[in-house]
Structure 1
Amino acid sequence: MTILNCAAMSCVHNEAGMCQAGYILIEGKDSTITTETKCSSYKPNKFINQVKALVNTNYVGEVKQLFSSMDKVKMNPQINCQASKCFFNSSGKCESRNVAISIDKSNQSKVMCETFVKSNNT
């Protein structure tokens, strides 16, 4: 299981640094560095996005998390990845055990995958 840590605290899916989305998508097909990636599942925490987020919520993970200690993360989304040049990308799925999502402090709408590592094969 991939453990996802999200620093985009303004995201509608962010719950104390954990992602309550059922799935996320990392874009950046031709990315060669972290800043060229994008978490397209990021949506600002506004009422309209809260309503839309209900479709992409990991309800089972949330219930499991409720009955677990905070040091055991149960609420992790499936991570789809279009960053074809990333070492951890395996046929469109992220194979990293730990994924970090961050937000650009100067551009709050720029949310990227900090785990991106350029593959030597590309």
Structure 2
Amino acid sequence: MTNLNCTAMNCVHNQFGMCKAGYILIESQESQTTSQTYCVNYRESTDENEAKAIENTNYISGLSEAFYSMDEVRMNPEINCHAQNCSYNLYGSCHARNVSIILDSNEAFKAKCETFIK
């Protein structure tokens, strides 16, 4: 299983640096660098987006959270990837051992895949 770290702390799916989404999609068909990728599921945390995010929630990991310490809980979603030039992309699925999503401070509302390697 891929470990996902997310520093987009204002994302509706972010919970203490972990992603509580059931799945995410990394997009950008012709990416050559990290800055050309983006997490399609990134949504700024607002009341409206919180309500919509319920549809894409990893309930099993969320339930585990109630019984285990945060160090033991792994809330890692399935990672689908359309960044065809990334060496970790295998038939549209991410096969990196660790993935890091960052919020690009230069581009409002864009979360990038920091793990992208051509």
1:46 deviates by 0.5
Q: Deviations over 1:4-57 (max 9, x none)?
A: 000000100000000000000000111010000000100010011101000000
What TM-score results when the alignment is normalised by the length of structure 1? Answer: 0.92
Query: Aligned-pair distance for 1:63?
Result: 1.2
Asked if the contact 1:62/1:74 (under 8 Å) is kept, the reply is no
- Paired residue secondary structure (2:110): strand
Structure 1, unmatched stretches of 5+, are none
Q: Which amino acid aligns with 1:82?
A: H
Q: Normalising to structure 2: TM-score of the pair? A: 0.95
Q: What is the rounded CA distance, in whole Å, between the counterparts of 1:114 and 1:11 in structure 2?
A: 16
Amino acid aligned to 1:109: F
CA RMSD of aligned residues (A): 1.0
Q: Which residue of structure 1 aligns with residue 88 of structure 2?
A: 88
Q: CA deviation at 1:105?
A: 1.7
1:71-86 correspondence runs (5 A): 71-86=71-86
Count the aligned residue pairs: 118
Per the alignment, in what secondary structure is the counterpart of residue 50 of structure 2?
Answer: helix
Q: Percent identity, please.
A: 51
- Mapping for residues 1-122 of structure 1, pairs under 5 Å: 1-118=1-118
Letter in 2 for 1:90: L
